Amino acid sequence: MHNVVISGTGLYTPANSISNEELVQSFNTYVAQFNADNADAIARGEVEALTESSAAFIEKASGIKSRFVMDKEGILDPQRMAPRLPERSNDEWSVLCQMAIGAAEQALQRAGKTAADIDGVIVACSNLQRAYPAIAIEVQEALGIQGFGFDMNVACSSATFGIQTAANSIQLGQARAILMVNPEVCTGHLNFRDRDSHFIFGDAATAVIIERADLATSKYQFDIVSTKLLTKFSNNIRNNFGFLNRAAEEGIGAKDKLFVQEGRKVFKEVCPMVAELIGEHLQENQLNVSDVKRFWLHQANLSMNHLIVKKLLGRDATEQEAPVILDTYANTSSAGSVISFHKNQDDLPAGSLAVLSSFGAGYSIGSVILRKRCYPGSSLLAMRACQSTSTLADIPQSRAGSLPQWSERYSDSRQTNDRGQPAPRGFFQTQLPTQALRRFTGNGHAQTNPAGISITRTFQTEERFKHRFTLFRRNPRPMVDDPDDQLLAMVFQGDQRLACVTQRVVQQVVDTGTQRHGLHL
> Among residues 145, 154, 147, 55, which one has the least CA distance to residue 107?
145
Alpha carbon distances (Å) from 488 to 381, 409, 428, 514, 519 = 9, 15, 10, 12, 10
Q: Are 483 and 455 in contact (CB under 8 A)?
A: yes
Q: Name the DSSP letter for residue 49.
A: P
The residue type found at 375 is: Y
Residue tagged active-site, from 156, 186, 386, 500: 156
- Exposed, middle or buried: residue 52 (CB in 10 Å: 0-12, 13-18, 19+)? middle
The residue type found at 492 is: F
What is the distance between the alpha carbons of residues 163 and 144, in angstroms, rounded to a whole number? Answer: 21
Query: Among positive and negative, which fits the CA dihedral 42, 46, 52, 57?
Result: positive
27 sits in which H/E element: helix 20-37
Q: Are 177 and 146 in contact (CB under 8 A)?
A: no
* Pairing of β 177-185 and β 120-124: parallel
The reply to whether 500 belongs to the active site is no
What is the distance between the alpha carbons of residues 481 and 61, in angstroms, rounded to a whole number? Answer: 48
| Radius of gyration from C-alpha coordinates of the chain | 26
Active site positions, annotated: 156
